[in-house]
Amino acid sequence: MPIQLPLFNQRWRQRRDSYRPIGEPINPKLYEVAELAGDREAKDFVLTHHYSASYPSARFRYGLFTGGVLVGVAVFSHPCNDRVLTSVFPLSPPHSVELGRFVLLDSVPANGESWFLARTFDLLRRRGLAGVVSFSDPVPRTTVDGRIIHCGHFGICYQATSATFLGRTDPRTVHLLPDGTVLNDRTIQKMRSGEQGWQYAAALLEKFGAAPPRVEARAEWLKIWLPRVTRRLRHSGNYKYAWAIAASARRLLPPSLPYPKPRGFPNAPPLSPVRIDLESKP
């Protein structure tokens, strides 16, 4: 039976989700946004709270603070394949970026997501960035014993910032570890080919019972232990969004497709879009 979700804003704490009702206002006087120096603080926050328990290859990191306490992190990253960016913004990749992780604690009011996101876009634009791409994963996931760790993310806060919805990525099959996290294809390829970092990747399988691999027999080891440790899940594809954060990039985006909504809540309240000023100067 499909999981039914209200149109609430999703929050995270200790990798467990919760929801705040759309339209709940944030008091900007109580919050500030600041760039985070290096990965340590951002990575610790993301690994502690985000359901994926993983951290991307970061280019820019911003924190949301209240009373000097970090309550949210936005990580803008560079994807493994440049085409993730250039297929949307046909500029050289340094001029666009992916919103790789975006996580706020459950203490932040609902409109805090769109407010925080708009502030980070302003900071990126001052750095010369023109576009941002992001993905939301609407497919629920559970641990091996049935506990839900991810109810599905439809990009409601992206819609609130007037993102262009570009449709869905191609369907694929993913491998789930017993804790419900995804062992992605890139990680599997590292183990198979012995690329840098393959030992860390192999340790993910060892954590859940795989025997230590022999270097010379990595491929055979993977063939044996991947199906023993992981579950295969047919994934129907992520939702893809984009923002032209610089006025010069507006012409690069097509008209938005209709926004996807969780099933079962046709009378949800309307979103309150946050205006992103594309004409402001650094």
Domain positions in the chain are 8-171+237-252, 174-232
Structural contact between residues 143 and 57, judged by C-beta atoms closer than 8 angstroms: no
For residue 112, give every residue at least 6 positions away whose Cβ sits within 8 Å of its Cβ, in sequence order, or none.
Answer: 26, 31, 64, 72, 104
What is the rounded distance in angstroms from the CA atom of residue 198 to the CA atom of residue 158? 34
What is the rounded distance in angstroms from the CA atom of residue 208 to the CA atom of residue 180? 12
Architecture of domain 8-171+237-252: 3-Layer(aba) Sandwich (3.40)
Structural contact between residues 198 and 218, judged by C-beta atoms closer than 8 angstroms: yes
The DSSP secondary-structure symbol of 123 reads H
What is the rounded distance in angstroms from the CA atom of residue 9 to the CA atom of residue 120? 18
What is the rounded distance in angstroms from the CA atom of residue 112 to the CA atom of residue 103? 11
- pTM for this prediction: 0.81
Higher pLDDT, 7 or 167: 167
Phi/psi for 258 (5° steps) reads: -60, 135
Closest CA to 267 of 22, 10, 7, 18: 7
What is the rounded distance in angstroms from the CA atom of residue 70 to the CA atom of residue 107? 11
How confident is the model at residue 136, as a pLDDT? Answer: 92
DSSP 87-133: TTS-S-GGGEEEEEEEEE-TTS-TTHHHHHHHHHHHHHHHTT--EEE
Please state the length of the chain.
282
- Span 248-270, average pLDDT: 74
Closest CA to 141 of 95, 81, 181, 100: 181
Mean pLDDT rounded to a whole number for the chain:
84
**Position 60, amino acid:** F
217: which 2 tokens?
């027999």
Q: How confident is the model at residue 93 (pLDDT cuts 50, 70, 90)?
A: confident
Residue with tokens 């893809």: 240
Closest CA to 8 of 140, 110, 134, 139: 110
| Residue 245 region by backbone torsions, left for phi larger than 0, else alpha for psi between -120 and 50, else beta | alpha
Phi/psi for 240 (5° steps) reads: -115, 130
Q: Residue 258 pLDDT > 50, yes or no?
A: yes
Q: How confident is the model at residue 267 (pLDDT cuts 50, 70, 90)?
A: very low
How confident is the model at residue 54, as a pLDDT? Answer: 80
171: which 2 tokens?
């369907």
- Which segment of 49-58, 73-82, 115-124, 223-232 scores lowest on mean pLDDT? 49-58
How confident is the model at residue 281, as a pLDDT? Answer: 38
- Span 57-86, average pLDDT: 94
